[in-house]
Structures are given as C-alpha cells and as structure tokens.
Structure 1
Amino acid sequence: MSSKLTRFEKARIIGARALQLSMGAKPLIEVKEALDPIDIATLELKKGLIPLDIRK
C-alpha cells in the first residue's frame, strides 16, 4: 500500500487540523507571523507533524 496521500486525503487532513486550530488548539509549529489556520495546517502537514491518521 502506498504511503503517499491523495489530494482528497490531504484536503481532509488539512481541513480537520485547521478546524482544531480555529477552535483553540495550539500549533505544532512556531508561528512567527499572522497566518490563518489553513496555512498553519498545511505547514504542519509538510513537516509531518499532524497527529491525524488515514485508514485505507
């Protein structure tokens, strides 16, 4: 099975994490400038820090 995420899986993970961030979750990366939750979630995904799993 491939460990690469599809674009739909990426969108779902980023959306779920962005919702958590907008509801007050602490970012897992250091945020130095004003970013919206989607940008923060995208950066977390690129660094592999998002604590969410996808079952295929």
Structure 2
Amino acid sequence: MESFTRYERARIVGARSLQISMGAPLLVQTDAIDPLEIADEEFRKNVIPITVKRAK
C-alpha cells in the first residue's frame, strides 16, 4: 500500500464517504451503516480507486 500523508488520507476517505452517502455502490462487504466507517474500511483494504498526484 502506498504511503499517504494524514491530509491525503483524510481527503480520500472524505471524498469516498461523500460518494457513498450519495448512493455509490460499496466496494466491500460490511455491516457498517455510517458512510465514513465504510469509506475508512475501504481505505484500509486498499480498494478505493482514487490516485494521488504529487507535485515534484
């Protein structure tokens, strides 16, 4: 898994949480209901299809 800063992690999980709350399909099987918990679980399992581009 790529190493993300805490800001990148917050941005990724937050963006994914918003997608889930708007009705996006889940990428993991879970019993969680809260979109933030689901997004965090997806992040920990490394299944969120979001990339981070860093300036060099």
Name the TM tier (shorter chain). Answer: 0.7 to 0.9
Aligned residue pair count: 53
TM-score by length of 2: 0.87
Deviation of 1:35 (Å): 2.2
Matched ranges for 1:32-43 at <5 A: 33-43=31-41
Q: Which runs of 5+ in 1 are unaligned?
A: none
Q: Which runs of 5+ in 2 are unaligned?
A: none
Indicate the residue corresponding to 2:7 in structure 1.
Answer: 8
Deviation of 1:34 (Å): 3.9
Aligned-pair RMSD on alpha carbons? 1.0
Cα distance in 1 between the residues matched to 2:32 and 2:8: 26
Cα distance in 1 between the residues matched to 2:3 and 2:32: 30
After the TM superposition, which segments of 4 or more aligned residues of structure 1 sit over 2 Å from their partners? none
TM-score by length of 1: 0.87
Q: Say if 2:17 and 2:38, in contact at 8 Å, map to a contact too.
A: yes
Cα distance in 2 between the residues matched to 1:48 and 1:29: 10
